[in-house]
Structure 1
Amino acid sequence: MSLNNSSLSKLVGKQWLFKWKGFAGVFNSMVALQLLAIVFTWGGTGQSGTSMGNVSLSMSFYSTDTVVALTMGWAFFSAILITTKAYRNDDFLFVTNRLSSNLANMLFLVSASVVAGLTAIISQYAIQMIQYVQGHTFISSTAPLALGEWLTGASATILYVLFFGAIGYLIGCITQMHRTLVVIVPVVLIGLLFIFSSFVPDVFSFFRFYFQEHTFWLFMIKMVGTILLLFLASILVSNRQEVIK
């Protein structure tokens, strides 16, 4: 079998299917983290209370923010993990090259982000069910979401998870170029964050740019464009790695 007899799309598809089965263990950690996040929200993410005469009222607020945050962290570190040498050596089972391997990894990250994003959103129903079982009265702060609104929220969550996965993948590709970069890259990133936060007051506009966009389609363009740029940078770095080694 040679690359002449197998198209790039078929090769990427076979590698993606292999990675989907071979990397199944990362989903165990995802489920564990999401369950841990649900436990963290067991007593509520915020509380308030009031009283009038002999009547007192206590309210607890619940949110899936913790679940989503831990899911994004999971995507970041899982993306770094699949760039390590042990995982890259699995590609030798196929007639492959850097491009097909990267595309298969990116396709896996997209698929994993869809699964992770949907389970993170669905966790809100698990939180509600827990409160019902405990006998607590549950009152939603908003009207029931229409299907379109739910899909918008799910899509945004998936894009956030994929965004952090793409960042992790780029960092993983960079650190694989030389062992010392495993320490240097995180130190440089953290250092730059402190420097910019000290000397550039508007540094947090970065967070507003990605996390406070109110127009969904504009948000989607920003996220998809950034993710594509991150993946393109990963491919270029990976190709450079091949020349070095």
Structure 2
Amino acid sequence: MSLNNMSLGTLVGKQYLFKWKAFAGVFNSMIALQLLAIVFSAGGVGQTGTSTGSVSIDLYYYSVDNVVGFTMVWAFFKSILITTKSYRNDDYLFVTNRLSSNLANILFVFSASVVAGLTAILSGYVIQMIQYVQGNTFLTEANPLSLGEWFTGAFATILYILFIGALGYLIGSVVQLHRTLVIIIPVALLGFLFVYDFNEPGMISMFKFYFKENIFWLFAMKILGTVLLLFAASMLVSNRLEVRK
């Protein structure tokens, strides 16, 4: 069969596998950031204590919040990175088009988010192990999780990381439209963070829409729907890029 007749699915699959090999280095930075976050979390994310007479009790709280936060930062910049021209040019090792290239990138972002989310959640056991090694053997979970709750939490973490990755991919695609946007967009984002009043009703409503949903399947639908919109917008933006000569 001629390469010109290669199906879209086959082409996307080949590019996706190629990207796993070509982008393997980005996971090194993920591991480094997660280890750094574990170090920050090893001393506890909160503390309380009480004493009576000659007895004093100090309670330290541990969580993976720092690890998840660092992982989100990694996902954001990693997604921007794969939209850059040097990475896009790698696709031309194949018979390719904008659609297959974007689909392969999206699959990679999704897969990387799954890996990042699971390692972030599992880092909690690493933090516990560090406490055991240090001799802090009296450990207990404030609210022990069932297996179903654990998987729900892991899935939610993956969705948040995927959401941030999709946002980074859109910003990276927009930046590629013109060189000046490399400066304009970061400045605009920083200005927004410093100037905007996050207590505005609109921002509060958006925060509740995404982060205060009590029904998990509705939460998942909201995040996945937004992710699809972000990726669709990225594909529309990428179609405006000049054809490589």
TM-score by length of 2: 0.94
Q: Do the aligned partners of residues 2 and 209 (structure 1) sit closer, same or farther apart at CA in structure 2, a change above 3 Å counting? A: farther
Structure 1 residue matching 2:239: 3-state secondary structure: helix
Q: Do the aligned partners of residues 141 and 199 (structure 1) sit closer, same or farther apart at CA in structure 2, a change above 3 Å counting? A: closer
Q: Write the distance in 1 (CA, Å) between the matches of 2:106 and 2:190.
A: 26
Residue of structure 2 in register with 1:230 after alignment: 230
1:92 aligns with 2:92: yes
Q: Write the distance in 2 (CA, Å) between the matches of 1:4 and 1:217.
A: 42
Residue of structure 2 in register with 1:133 after alignment: 133
Residue of structure 1 in register with 2:221 after alignment: 221
Residue of structure 2 in register with 1:80 after alignment: 80
1:65 aligns with 2:65: yes
Q: Write the distance in 1 (CA, Å) between the matches of 2:122 and 2:211.
A: 21
Stretch deviating more after TM superposition (124-133 or 182-191): 182-191
Q: Do the aligned partners of residues 41 and 171 (structure 1) sit closer, same or farther apart at CA in structure 2, a change above 3 Å counting? A: same
Q: Write the distance in 2 (CA, Å) between the matches of 1:238 and 1:43.
A: 45
Stretch deviating more after TM superposition (126-135 or 199-208): 199-208
Listed as ranges, the matches of 1:145-160 within 5 Å are 145-160=145-160
Residue of structure 2 in register with 1:169 after alignment: 169
Listed as ranges, the matches of 1:172-187 within 5 Å are 172-187=172-187
- Structure 1 residue 23, shift from structure 2 partner: 0.1
Q: Do the aligned partners of residues 126 and 90 (structure 1) sit closer, same or farther apart at CA in structure 2, a change above 3 Å counting? A: same
Structure 2 residue matching 1:56: 3-state secondary structure: strand
Q: Write the distance in 2 (CA, Å) between the matches of 1:2 and 1:60.
A: 64
Residue of structure 1 in register with 2:35 after alignment: 35
Q: Is the 8 A contact 2:113 2:158 kept in 1?
A: yes
Look up the equivalent residue of 2:225 and give its one-letter code.
Answer: G
- Structure 1 residue 194, shift from structure 2 partner: 4.7
Residue of structure 2 in register with 1:142 after alignment: 143
- Identify, as 1 or 2, the structure richer in helix: 1
Q: Deviations over 1:169-224 (max 9, x none)?
A: 00000000111001111222333445541793442332222222221111001000
Q: Is the 8 A contact 1:2 1:95 kept in 2?
A: no
- Structure 1 residue 146, shift from structure 2 partner: 2.0
Q: Deviations over 1:14-39 (max 9, x none)?
A: 00000001100000000000000000
Look up the equivalent residue of 1:105 and give its one-letter code.
Answer: N
Stretch deviating more after TM superposition (203-212 or 82-91): 203-212
Look up the equivalent residue of 1:23 and give its one-letter code.
Answer: F
Listed as ranges, the matches of 1:16-35 within 5 Å are 16-35=16-35
Q: Write the distance in 2 (CA, Å) between the matches of 1:198 and 1:109.
A: 29
- Structure 1 residue 243, shift from structure 2 partner: 6.5
Q: Deviations over 1:126-148 (max 9, x none)?
A: 111111111111111012x2221
Q: Is the 8 A contact 2:198 2:204 kept in 1?
A: no
Structure 2 residue matching 1:158: 3-state secondary structure: helix
Q: Deviations over 1:145-182 (max 9, x none)?
A: 22211111111000000000000000000000111001
TM-score by length of 1: 0.94
1:54 aligns with 2:50: no
Q: Write the distance in 2 (CA, Å) between the matches of 1:196 and 1:109.
A: 29
Q: Is the 8 A contact 2:20 2:108 kept in 1?
A: yes
Look up the equivalent residue of 2:111 and give its one-letter code.
Answer: S
Q: Do the aligned partners of residues 48 and 210 (structure 1) sit closer, same or farther apart at CA in structure 2, a change above 3 Å counting? A: same
Q: Write the distance in 1 (CA, Å) between the matches of 2:90 and 2:177.
A: 18
- Structure 1 residue 232, shift from structure 2 partner: 0.1
Look up the equivalent residue of 2:219 and give its one-letter code.
Answer: F
Structure 1, unaligned runs of 5 or more: none
Structure 2, unaligned runs of 5 or more: none
Q: Do the aligned partners of residues 238 and 33 (structure 1) sit closer, same or farther apart at CA in structure 2, a change above 3 Å counting? A: same
